Every structure is written in C-alpha cells, then in structure tokens.
Amino acid sequence: MTSNTLTSTPIPAFGLGTFRLKDQVVVDSVSNALALGYRLIDTAQIYGNEAAVGQAIAASGVPRSELFITTKIWTEHLAQDRVIPSLQDSLDKLRMDHVDLTLIHWPSPGGAVPLADTLRALMDAKAQGLTKHIGVSNFNMALLQQAVDAVGAVNIATHQIELSPYLQNRAVVAFAQSHGIHTTSYMTLAYGKVLQDPVLTQIAQRHGATTAQVALAWAMQLGYAVIPSSTQRANLESNMKAQQLRLTDAEMAAIAMLDCGDRLVNPEGLAPRWD
C-alpha cells in the first residue's frame, strides 16, 4: 500500500529529521544526507538549527528545486500577526525564499491563540509564496477537526505525529485518512527502543535488513512519511535502504501487534489531551 492509495500527497515518503541536532553536528548530518541522496529535510524554529541547516544546504550544491524543506512555527509565534514575520525569519536563517511545508508545531497551549487565526495566517503565507504547503503537528482528533473546519482538509498537507511500532496512533491516523489528510511519522524508531525488538529482529534477519529498516519500511508501507535522524553517515545510508524493503502481509500484521501505547513525547503544557 502506498500513500497515494490513501491520500494524494506532495510530501516525499522519506527524509531527514534534525530534532536535537545542533551546530556542526547538524551541518554534518544534513551535508552527509544530501550527498547520499536525501531530499526532504525537516527542521523547526524551536530546534535552534535552521541557520546551520541552511548553511549545509547552501554548501551542498543541490538545486533548491530538488529539495523539500519543512519547518514548524513555534507556539510563541502562533498569533495571526506573528506567523508570517516568524516564517520570514526562518527563511532568512535557511537562506531561501520559501519552504515547501510549514507546520504548526504544537497546538496553542490552553487554546490561547484560536487555531483558525493561525491557519488563516499560514494560508496567507502560502498565498504570498513563502510556503508551498501548510500542515499541523501533534494534534488530537478534535484539533484536526477544528483545522478542517477552518481551512478545509485539502489545505492540510500532512499531520506530523509521534508514531512507531510501539505507538501506532491508529485512531488519529484513521481520522486523518477519513479526511484525506496524510500522516508523517516522527520518532518512528522510538528513540532506538524498537531496535532491539525480537519481532522486528526476526523480520530483519529474514530480509537481510536492519531492525531500523524494518520499522521505517513498515511506516512507509502504511502510507506514512518518515523522517529519521542520524549523525552517522553509515546509518543515514542504511536507513535510506528502507525504501526498497517490502514486508509481507504477515510481517505487517506481526508489527501491528506490537502497539502498546508507549508514548515518549508528551511535554507538559504543550501536549493536547491525546486520543
């Protein structure tokens, strides 16, 4: 199953995440990834690494037209009059005149800023050519419904959520799919926790693959985009090979059984009431 059977999405299925990577570490990670053939790079205002990501992209020689760059608006910039100035600041740091995707990183704490206001500002940013697509991240079903009501599902390019074999988030994914909204999985390897999983290890051995490749292939086979990060060139190269790995229906079913609701990202004051 590919994403196109579920939703029509402009988002590449595979890319590089840069969460927790800073300074020369992120420069090296992005540089190596681009040299290996990665074309989707995911950053965010709160990561504090947009300038370093921009530096690596500029030095790579990869044409901007080949790249898909995602950034995310932090909560302090969600007010309608702050969205575009903050995005322009991100673009300055990234050394580019537009990004491909701009996400609301987390819902406004306590609903302080009406979601419709932020989304309208993002639609304005899109109309001005500052971003090609907009989307949301870390929403529950009620918030997704609010977003759909505000700007229409057709304008929500993806919903980026924590999603791994141990946290499969099926209800939220199904709700998004029912509206034609694509899903991007972050933390697909659960901070490395799934890498020792006996079920994934057995599947990996059958395919002559790594457990990381199996977890990433599982998510992509369900139609999700994945954005694993790594500071090691060998791991960056290995993760790419997940794109060629096809799991059997029985293997997909075995991984489906691993869901145990193991949520690793749940920041107090930011996280909504999860479904």
The length of the chain in residues reads 275
Active site residue 38: no
Among 171, 209, 216, CA closest to 192: 216
Q: How many CA atoms lie within 13 A of 181 on its CB side?
A: 28
Among 33, 3, 36, 4, CA closest to 18: 33
47, 166, 186, 224: the active-site residue: 47
> Which helix (H) or strand (E) covers residue 16, if one does?
strand 16-17
Q: Is 207 annotated as a binding residue?
A: no
- Measured CA to CA, the distance from residue 187 to residue 183 in angstroms comes to 13
Helices (DSSP H) in 134-247: which residue ranges? 141-151, 170-178, 198-207, 211-221, 233-240
Residues 126 and 134 sit within 8 Å (Cβ to Cβ)? yes
Helices (DSSP H) in 11-70: which residue ranges? 23-36, 50-60
Among 155, 186, 181, 234, CA closest to 43: 186
- Measured CA to CA, the distance from residue 144 to residue 274 in angstroms comes to 12
Give the residue ranges of the annotated binding site.
Answer: 105
Active-site residues: which are they? 47
Give the residue ranges of the annotated binding site for substrate.
Answer: 105
